[in-house]
Amino acid sequence: MEFRPCIDLHQGKVKQIVGATLNQENKQVIENYVSTYNSSYYAAKFRDDQLTGGHVIMLGDGNKEAAIEALQSYPGGLQIGGGINGDNALTFLNAGASHVIVTSYIFQDGELKMDKLRRLVDKIGKERLVIDLSCKQKDGKWFVVTDKWTKFSNIEITASTIKELEQYCDEFLIHAADVEGKRAGIAENLVRLLADYVTIPTTYAGGVSSLEDLHLFEQLSKGKLHVTIGSALDIFGGDLSYDQVVDYCKE
């Protein structure tokens, strides 16, 4: 199990927000934390702590400059997601990203667009692609959600879905969108399910807010999944020690 750090960008600033509030009409985005430091500060910190596989997520427009600053501060050490498509993927890879992360580009109108996925793989190679399978629960099942987690797709997280998509990417990134940003514990049934299904590196995000949560995650995932933690960390205004998380995962 590795700790995969994150840098979430909103309106050009490093923030921790409740992701499910991004596209709610006539409602304010809920911000857990707005940093006084820029993206390159965090990228350099993760570089110095030798953390690999972290990700920069651009939440909406106006974040490209801050994203590239982070990538250039830690070349090859960070992945990039948020609005990635077939036209801009190479731009971010050439700027220093190790991988690009895609969701809405390949999941449209509630369906997986295999033609777009195949074209993207042909363009950049599967070894530089991460597929974001962030999901919400409905009727006891987990479905991929798109458009900043506001729309359900018809793609259920099943063994066959995972097996098919593993042929086209190097890693998965999976937010449990129902619990993300709420510091209220992990989605235990999703963690168990993923540990049974995945055979490639997979990073889980959502609800880890204490070392006890981290230990539970490690047990439920059987050490097969990596973890990212955002708003719960003290470097993002939370109570959980970043240094302790780094040390726990390295041990």
Predicted confidence (pLDDT) per residue in 19-28, tens digit: 555 555 545 6
Q: What tokens appear for 21 in the block?
A: 């509030």
Mean pLDDT across the chain:
93
Mean pLDDT of 200-207: 96
Band (181; pLDDT cuts 50, 70, 90): low
For residue 26, what pLDDT is reported?
45
Cα of 137 vs its chain's centroid, Å: 17
Burial 93-112 (b: 16+ CB within 10 A, else e): bebbbbbbbbbbbbbeeeeb
Q: What is the pTM of this model?
A: 0.93
3 state DSSP class of 200: coil
Please, which pLDDT band fits residue 182 given cuts at 50, 70 and 90?
Answer: low
Tell me the C-alpha to C-alpha distance, in Å, between residue 231 and each of 152, 185, 210, 218. 25, 12, 11, 19
Structure-token pair, residue 3: 């700790």
Of the candidates 45, 47, 20, the one whose C-alpha atom is nearest the C-alpha of residue 32 is: 20
Query: What proportion of the chain, given as a percentage, has pLDDT over 90?
Result: 83
CA angle 10, 12, 17 (to 5 degrees): 20
Q: State the alpha helices, DSSP H only, in the chain.
A: 39-48, 64-73, 89-94, 114-124, 159-165, 188-197, 211-221, 242-250
Pick the closest to residue 86 from 61, 57, 113 (CA basis): 113
* Residues 4, 53 contacting (CB under 8 angstroms): yes
Cα 123 to Cα 209: distance, rounded to the nearest angstrom: 38
Q: How far, in Å, CA of 168 to CA of 211, rounded? A: 34
Whether the per-residue pLDDT at 208 is higher than 60: the answer is yes
The three-class DSSP label of residue 173 is: strand
State pLDDT tens for residues 22-67.
Answer: 555 545 677 878 999 999 999 999 999 999 999 999 998 999 999 9
Q: What is the pLDDT of residue 185?
A: 86
Contact between 44 and 69 (Cβ < 8 Å): no
Least confident of 23-32, 95-104, 207-216: 23-32
Paired strand residues for 227 = 3, 204
Please, what is the Cα angle at 109 between 113 and 166, to 5 degrees?
Answer: 35
Homologous superfamily of the 6-250 domain (CATH): Aldolase class I (3.20.20.70)
What is the share, in percent, of the chain residues with pLDDT greater than 70? 94
Spatial separation of the C-alpha atoms in residues 223 and 48, rounded to whole Å:
24
- Find, among 199, 195, 189, 197, the residue nearest to 227 by Cα: 195
Going by pLDDT thresholds of 50, 70 and 90, the confidence category of residue 150 is confident
